[in-house]
Amino acid sequence: MDDLSTIRSEALDAVQAAADLGALEAARVAALGKKGSVTGLMKTLGGLAPEQRKEFGARVNQLKGEIEAALEARKGSLSASALEARLASEKIDVSLPVRPEGQGTLHPIGQVMDEIGAIFGEMGFTWADGPDIEDDWHNFTALNIPPDHPARQMQDTFYLPSRADGTPMVLRTHTSPVQARTMLNKDVQKRLADGGSLRIIVPGRTFRIDSDATHTPMFHQVEGLVIDRTTHMGHLKGCLVDFCRAFFEVDDLPLRFRPSYFPFTEPSAEVDIGCSWKGGELKIGAGDSWLEILGSGMVHPNVIANCGLDPAVYQGFAFGMGIDRIAMLKYGIPDLRAFFDADLRWLRHYGFSALEAVK
Amino acid sequence: MKFTLSWLKEHLDTDATLVQVRDTLTMLGLEVECITNPAETLKGFIVGYVVEAVQHPNADRLRVCKVDTGTGILQVVCGAPNARTGMKGIFAPTGSYIPGTGITLKASKIRGEESNGMLCSARELQLGDDHSGIIDLPAETVTGQSAAEALGLDDAVIEIKVTPNRGDCLGVHGIARDLAAAGLGTLKPVKMDRIAGSYASPIKWTHGYEAAPDSPCPIVVGRHFRGVKNGPSPDWLQRRLKAIGLRPISALVDITNLVTFDLNRPLHVFDAAKLSGDLVMRQAREGEQILALDGKTYTLDPAVSVIADAKGVHGIGGIMGGEDTGVQEGTTEVFLEVAYFTPIRVAATGRKLGIQSDARYRFERGIDPQSVEWGTDVATRLILDLCGGECSEITRSGVMPAWQRRYELRTDRVKNLTGIEVSAADTASILTKLGFGIEGSGPWTASVPSWRPDIVGEADLVEEVTRVFGFDNIPTTSLPSLSATSRPVRDALQRRTPQARRALAARGMNEAVTWSFLPLKKAERFGGGGADVRLLNSIDATLDTMRPSILPNLIDAASRNEARGLADPALFEVGPQYKDATPQGQRTVAAGIRHHMAVPRNWAGPARPVDAFDAKADALAVLSAIGAPDTLSSQPGAPNWYHPGRSGALKLGDRVMAYFGELHPEIVAAADLKGPVAAFEVFLDAPPLPKAKATKARPKLVLSAFQPLERDFAFLVDAGVEAEKLVRAARNADKVMITAARVFDLYAGKGVPEGKKSLAIAVTLQPVERTLTDAEIEAVSDKIVAAVAKATGAVLRG
């Protein structure tokens, strides 16, 4: 009897004392292994009388069960603390920075072009392109700016060597030559003849000899052109009111149409938007000041005729707006020259995220 | 164009306020740029009466004055030699800011005598150059009256921007006519009576060519004056000229300036005593010279119109008179020139000689041809009134250019073109007030007045009616919708620009926009600089040639950023490059550079310099974003601005889609950059556009139920064999079962023979119908090894 209780207490003590899974296994082997103390007791059963064997056997089995349960319990507790210890040892400094990755940005000009495209797209306009190096017919003559007209002195033009046929070549001074290129397109003329409507915007690079604090020799414009049989100045006003309000995100933005002069439109209007200068800070919206943002008008009958359409049948409007300028106004960018300097600090500060949504 | 409110009221009978005048001008298309009132700087200055002026006890040159200011008597010490008892002058009380000296007055003691304020000279008030004494006002001036009022300076100066078509508004009368038409008052007629001459002009006008309507000078009128006295012009005239920034010179010169700005009628007066014989309008002879009134000598040629006498040239037609025959204080005989010069000729001459003048500005915009007659009358009246003497009979030469034009205005045209309803009565009234002759009651026939050369058709008449009726009346009508659904604003090719931009920004690059031009030397190094893309009139030599590539500008930008201490720039631009001057020579390219480190120093791993594969990755990202097929091949053959051994082209068949690689070390060194620069150029128009399809539906996705497996192969191959060739051979060894093959290791060195490399690839096998047996896998492996061996001579590494 003493034997049994000694074995019991020794085995259970060893289980409890096991400090890790290895020691626990040693304790199991010491008790329940082939040469273990409990296994040794089992081996003695064969030498006992049947009565005794039954009674002693039951007690040994109970002891075995008890030890197994203790082993299981101890194992559970040892695993948990082992995991705990591992986790504790695996702690990192979460305040360390992530691995380096560049923060890319989009230039405000492209962003604003996308915004312009989205707004006019909703109004049924499509995007048209033309070459930056133009012949003077498309840049001037087609647009009712004949040679020696004073309007040619309004814009100081970059010239390139004339073509072999003598045609003077220029860097386009405005995006307006694309008006002519589009109206002259045979598919466009057919669509108009079938009663359709032409609505294009032409965002792009433009060039003038001008370089000071507020002028750069290259800048960006967006041209708009609508031609059909019925579009009038009220539509021009409606279209630009809708655009300016959407672009500047001011629902009640006031617009003012002022008579002006452009050789390629008649009547011509300059368009101002309302603003205020409280505390020296420009706020776009209803206010006590006006800010000129674009030129526009009804396409001159001579331009329509120069582009192979009958001005007695077709009419429409055109406008031209500085993209850099409206980008500066909307996003509070102070200096035009910086647009073209590629200073990383500027690109990162005024740039847009790659995934910046265009409404 | 500047004028004063009181000057305007000489021509416009109105009680409109300055604000109404301002707003109406702007809404007529005569945009007000600024309004200033000199009275503002004279606030607080008043007329003082010198009750007594006595010698200063302690100073020879000073006087002690008792000045009546209307509200009290103050003592003032004055240094002006003309200060005297009983005079009236401009008094500045203590506390006044003196604009001419920049001093704020304080009460003080001068050599022991108290002085409370100051009596001012013209220069001290910035009213002129005179500092010889204090302003001496007429005795009848009211003591205590404000100085601005007493000096007649309380008059707003209005500056408007006149568009090139509105030459008629370069005279105050024309501006008043527009305002009257807009309902802001009544236009006063200009007094222009013909004064008969009392003798035959000793100088006659002649033409050196047969005058025709399109001659440089179709017509010229003039007359001779004798017995004139050319002193200073009267105060009212001097004040008017000074108010708009002109310097009064003498009565005769001031008269010509007055008529120029009042009626848009430039004139010239010669000192007749200095002329020899008749005056002729002719073209200059080669090499003829003239000393002009601006003090400069101009050498002329036959393209320039001149006014000459028997001895030489005395004026450049429509631009500037000559110094030698100009009027002076002692002039007593005058010859008046009132000519019409053709705008195009004046503009060309003015540009060629580089002369700006008030006359050129007006002639090149087109003045009223009839003004040769009425201008002569107005000038005659002024000369006789202000300088006395008598005038000769009129002399003239040439023919009146045809200015009469008539256009029809259809009844509904204003409404159809502008959306504004203007009644027939208003339409006719507006045009009549602007000086048009009107026949009919809709449709109308409008005769254009001689001073409106800009009106050349019905659309111009529509503009006149609507701008005067008011652009505020234009309705706001949204454009009608063209279709129920909105289409994308850009077509598939145009969409590639934003796709490329967003792909590159997402890869951590910063988008730049740089000039379309660059220096010729750089253009040449990058394969451009042809004669047809060199600017004839560039701003400077750094911007004289159209760029054949975007890269040089990005390289410059990287250098600038490095110089500012901004490390590792990764810049891109999507924009045009120009091969030649044709529309087809311009292509849209996405170009970018990464300089120095692709991965900078960091705690988590080693730093890594940029290399060609960074550029290749950028190029492939753009190509993928713009929808290029994935069957591109990479081959050597980038242009010579890339490192010849570390660059390549991405091609679809034979067509180049992109170049990528390290920049040529020579270019990197020239840009003062240290370390490698990886660069790429993707041609956005190069990948074929997808065919337009009826639906947007994509092909059906077929998925295998069986797991794919991967087998690795290490090949020993000649060092010169391109990895892509080897991979492609493996990939094509079994087109059904093999779905992918990729390089996962490249090794040369110990254990690999000289001139060879070890290239390890992983091949993915995708069972289609059932799991593969070992024998089947073995068979595919053998096919792969055989195919690679055949294509590249590679052997499986033992």
**Residues 6 or more apart in contact with residue B389 via CB below 8 angstroms:** B225, B226, B227, B228, B229, B332, B334, B383
Question: Residue A153's pLDDT band (boundaries 50, 70, 90)?
Answer: low
| Residue B591, Ramachandran bin (φ over 0: left; ψ between -120 and 50: alpha; else beta) | beta
Residue indicated by tokens 């001074």: A173
Residue B385's alpha-carbon distances to A308, B171, B233, B581, in angstroms, are 58, 21, 11, 63
Measured over the CA atoms of residue B179, residue B182, residue B184 and residue B186, the dihedral's sign is positive
* ipTM score for this prediction: 0.87
**Residues 6 or more apart in contact with residue A67 via CB below 8 angstroms:** A8, A11, A12, A15, A28, A31, A32, A38
Residue B217 has pLDDT above 90, yes or no: yes
What range does the domain containing A25 cover? 2-89
Q: Which of B314, B1, B329, B340 is nearest to B160 (CA)?
A: B1
- Provide, rounded to the nearest whole percent, the portion of chain A with pLDDT above 70: 97
- Identity (one letter) of the amino acid at B744? F
Nearest to B348 among A97, A110, A148 (CB): A148
**Residues 6 or more apart in contact with residue B428 via CB below 8 angstroms:** B438, B441, B444
In contact, B770 and B709? CB cutoff 8 Å: no
A358 domain-assigned: no
A61 domain-assigned: yes
- What end-to-end distance do the CA atoms of chain A give, in Å? 90
Mean pLDDT of B779-787: 94
- Residues of chain A contacting residue B163, judged by C-beta atoms under 8 Å apart: 260-261
Nearest to B536 among A161, A230, A269 (CB): A161
CATH of the domain at A250: 3.30.930.10
Structural domain ending residue among the three candidates A30, A59, A89: A89
Whether chain B has a CB inside 8 Å of the CB on A150: the answer is: yes
State the smallest CA–CA distance between residue A84 and chain B in angstroms: 26
Same-domain pairing of A115 and A81:
no
How many Å separate Cα B83 from the centre of its chain? 53
Same-domain pairing of A252 and A124:
yes
Same-domain pairing of A37 and A135:
no
> Given 3.30.70.920, 3.50.40.10, 3.40.1010.20, 3.20.20.30, which CATH number is that of B205-398?
3.50.40.10
CB contact under 8 A, A104 and B501: no
A332 domain-assigned: yes
Per DSSP bridges, beta strands B31-36 and B157-161 are antiparallel
CB contact under 8 A, A233 and B417: yes
- Best mutation site among A115, A122, A129, A339 for testing chain B: the one with the most B CBs within 10 Å? A129
pLDDT at B149: 83
Same-domain pairing of A73 and A127:
no
Residue A150 has pLDDT above 90, yes or no: no
State the smallest CA–CA distance between residue B718 and chain A in angstroms: 36
Residue A154 has pLDDT above 50, yes or no: no
CB contact under 8 A, B537 and A130: no
- Residues of chain A contacting residue B606, judged by C-beta atoms under 8 Å apart: none
CB contact under 8 A, A99 and B602: yes
Are B205-398 and B709-796 the same fold in CATH? no
CB contact under 8 A, A351 and B511: yes
Backbone angles phi, psi at A110, to 5 degrees: -65, -40
Same-domain pairing of A255 and A144:
yes
A357 domain-assigned: no
State the smallest CA–CA distance between residue A82 and chain B in angstroms: 28
Residue A92 has pLDDT above 70, yes or no: yes
Provide CATH code, domain B407-473.
3.30.56.10
- Residues of chain A contacting residue B536, judged by C-beta atoms under 8 Å apart: 158-161
Residue A346 has pLDDT above 60, yes or no: yes
Per DSSP bridges, beta strands B108-110 and B320-321 are unpaired
Mean pLDDT of B548-562: 96
How many CB pairs (< 8 A) connect A and B? 271
State how far the Cα of A262 lies from the Cα of A323, in Å rounded to an integer.
Answer: 19
Find the helix packing angle between A108-122 and B492-506, rounded to 10°.
Answer: 140
The third-level CATH classification (topology) of the domain covering B709-796 is Alpha-Beta Plaits (3.30.70)
CB contact under 8 A, A267 and B501: no
State the total domains in chain A.
Answer: 2
Whether chain B has a CB inside 8 Å of the CB on A47: the answer is: no
pLDDT at B169: 97
State the smallest CA–CA distance between residue B469 and chain A in angstroms: 11
Residue indicated by tokens 């207490």: A9
Tokens linked to A250: 């001011």
Whether chain B has a CB inside 8 Å of the CB on A348: the answer is: yes
Residue B454's alpha-carbon distances to A141, A195, A336, B457, B458, in angstroms, are 17, 33, 35, 9, 12
Residue A2 has pLDDT above 60, yes or no: no
Residue indicated by tokens 């312009």: A116
Residue indicated by tokens 């025709």: B212
Same-domain pairing of A150 and A229:
yes
Q: Which of B262, B269, B255, B252 is nearest to B338 (CA)?
A: B269
Nearest to B488 among A121, A230, A267 (CB): A121
Residue B479 has pLDDT above 90, yes or no: yes
Q: What is the pLDDT of residues B305-315, one digit of tens each?
A: 999 999 999 99
User: Residues for chain B: how many in total?
Assistant: 798
State how far the Cα of B781 lies from the Cα of B763, in Å rounded to an integer.
Answer: 9
- Residues of chain B contacting residue A237, judged by C-beta atoms under 8 Å apart: 419, 474-477
Residue A110's alpha-carbon distances to A320, A328, A339, A352, in angstroms, are 17, 13, 11, 10
Nearest to A154 among B164, B557, B566 (CB): B164
Q: What is the pLDDT of residues B431-463, one digit of tens each?
A: 999 999 999 998 999 999 999 999 999 999 999
pLDDT at B140: 87
State how far the Cα of A317 lies from the Cα of B305, in Å rounded to an integer.
Answer: 41
CB contact under 8 A, B517 and A132: no
Same-domain pairing of A156 and A291:
yes
The third-level CATH classification (topology) of the domain covering B2-37+156-187 is Phenylalanyl-tRNA Synthetase; Chain B, domain 1 (3.30.56)
State how far the Cα of B429 lies from the Cα of A155, in Å rounded to an integer.
Answer: 36
> Burial letters for B52-82: b for 16+ Cβ neighbours within 10 Å, e otherwise?
ebeebeeeeebbbbbbbbeeeebebbbbbeb
Whether chain B has a CB inside 8 Å of the CB on A277: the answer is: no
Residue indicated by tokens 């010490």: B77
Residue B698 has pLDDT above 90, yes or no: no
H helical segments located in B610-754: 612-625, 665-670, 723-731
State how far the Cα of A303 lies from the Cα of A182, in Å rounded to an integer.
Answer: 12
Tokens linked to B240: 């008017």
- Residues of chain A contacting residue B581, judged by C-beta atoms under 8 Å apart: 133, 160-161, 163, 169
Question: Residue A311's pLDDT band (boundaries 50, 70, 90)?
Answer: very high
pLDDT at B147: 86
- Identity (one letter) of the amino acid at A33? G
Measured over the CA atoms of residue B610, residue B611, residue B613 and residue B616, the dihedral's sign is positive
Question: Residue A1's pLDDT band (boundaries 50, 70, 90)?
Answer: very low
Residue indicated by tokens 């008059």: B155
What is the per-residue DSSP string for B80-144? Answer: -TT--TT-EEEEE-TT-EETTTTEE---EEETTEEE-SEE-BTTTTTS-S--SSB--B-TTSPTT
If you average pLDDT over every residue of chain B, what do you get?
A: 93
pLDDT-wise least confident of A39-53, A191-205, B329-343, B433-447:
A39-53
Residue B292 has pLDDT above 90, yes or no: yes
State how far the Cα of B58 lies from the Cα of B50, in Å rounded to an integer.
Answer: 20
Nearest to B516 among A159, A218, A270 (CB): A218
Q: Which of B331, B336, B340, B341 is nearest to B376 (CA)?
A: B336
Same-domain pairing of A123 and A233:
yes
Nearest to A124 among B482, B583, B605 (CB): B482
Whether chain B has a CB inside 8 Å of the CB on A177: the answer is: no
Mean pLDDT of A337-350: 96
Question: Residue B154's pLDDT band (boundaries 50, 70, 90)?
Answer: confident
Same-domain pairing of A116 and A83:
no
State how far the Cα of B169 lies from the Cα of B750, in Å rounded to an integer.
Answer: 90
Question: Residue A60's pLDDT band (boundaries 50, 70, 90)?
Answer: confident
User: Residues for chain A: how many in total?
Assistant: 359
CB contact under 8 A, B471 and A109: no
CB contact under 8 A, B535 and A159: yes
The secondary element (H helix, E strand) that includes residue A315 is strand A315-322
pLDDT-wise least confident of A23-32, A345-354, B585-594:
A23-32
- Residues of chain A contacting residue B513, judged by C-beta atoms under 8 Å apart: 107, 109-110, 339-340, 342
Per DSSP bridges, beta strands A126-127 and A198-207 are parallel
**Peptide linkage before A267 cis (omega within 30 of 0):** yes
Residue B694 has pLDDT above 80, yes or no: no
Whether chain B has a CB inside 8 Å of the CB on A122: the answer is: yes
Q: What is the pLDDT of residues B226-259, one digit of tens each?
A: 999 999 999 899 989 988 989 999 999 999 999 9
Same-domain pairing of A60 and A144:
no
Residue A151 has pLDDT above 70, yes or no: no
Same-domain pairing of A145 and A70:
no
Looking at domain B492-683, its CATH superfamily turns out to be Bira Bifunctional Protein; Domain 2 (3.30.930.10)
Tokens linked to B571: 């810049």
| Segments making up each domain of chain B, as ranges | 2-37+156-187, 40-150, 205-398, 407-473, 492-683, 709-796
If you average pLDDT over every residue of chain A, what do you get?
A: 91
Same-domain pairing of A338 and A194:
yes
Q: Which of B754, B761, B752 is nearest to B788 (CA)?
A: B761
> Burial letters for B455-473: b for 16+ Cβ neighbours within 10 Å, e otherwise?
bebbbbbbbbbbbbbbbee
A101 domain-assigned: no
Residue A39 has pLDDT above 90, yes or no: no
CB contact under 8 A, A232 and B539: no
Provide CATH code, domain B40-150.
2.40.50.140
Question: Residue A358's pLDDT band (boundaries 50, 70, 90)?
Answer: low
Residue ranges of A 198-217 with Cβ closer than 8 A to chain B: 199, 201, 205, 207, 209, 211, 217
pLDDT-wise least confident of B420-434, B472-486, B626-640, B664-678:
B472-486
Residue B650's alpha-carbon distances to B64, B655, B705, in angstroms, are 95, 8, 36
Among chain A residues, CA nearest to B568: A102
Tokens linked to B623: 């190509």
State how far the Cα of A206 lies from the Cα of A324, in Å rounded to an integer.
Answer: 11
Mean pLDDT of A187-202: 95
State how far the Cα of A133 lies from the Cα of A207, in Å rounded to an integer.
Answer: 10
pLDDT at B102: 86
- Best mutation site among B510, B516, B553, B556 for testing chain A: the one with the most A CBs within 10 Å? B510
Residue A231 has pLDDT above 60, yes or no: yes
Structural domain ending residue among the three candidates A33, A62, A89: A89
State how far the Cα of B212 lies from the Cα of B387, in Å rounded to an integer.
Answer: 35
State the smallest CA–CA distance between residue B172 and chain A in angstroms: 19
CB contact under 8 A, B512 and A107: yes
A312 domain-assigned: yes
Name the DSSP class of B582.
Answer: S
Tokens linked to B711: 């087998």
In contact, B586 and B683? CB cutoff 8 Å: no
- Identity (one letter) of the amino acid at B390? E
State the smallest CA–CA distance between residue B37 and chain A in angstroms: 20
CB contact under 8 A, A209 and B537: yes
State the smallest CA–CA distance between residue B559 and chain A in angstroms: 10
How many other C-beta atoms are found inside a 10 Å radius of the C-beta of residue B565?
6
Residue B271 has pLDDT above 90, yes or no: yes
- Best mutation site among A95, A114, A133 for testing chain B: the one with the most B CBs within 10 Å? A133
Q: What is the pLDDT of residues B346-401, one digit of tens each?
A: 988 998 899 999 999 999 999 999 999 999 999 999 999 999 999 999 999 999 99
State the smallest CA–CA distance between residue A178 and chain B in angstroms: 12
On whether the pTM is more than 0.90, the answer is no
Mean pLDDT of A107-133: 96
Residue ranges of A 222-261 with Cβ closer than 8 A to chain B: 226, 230-239, 241-242, 257-261
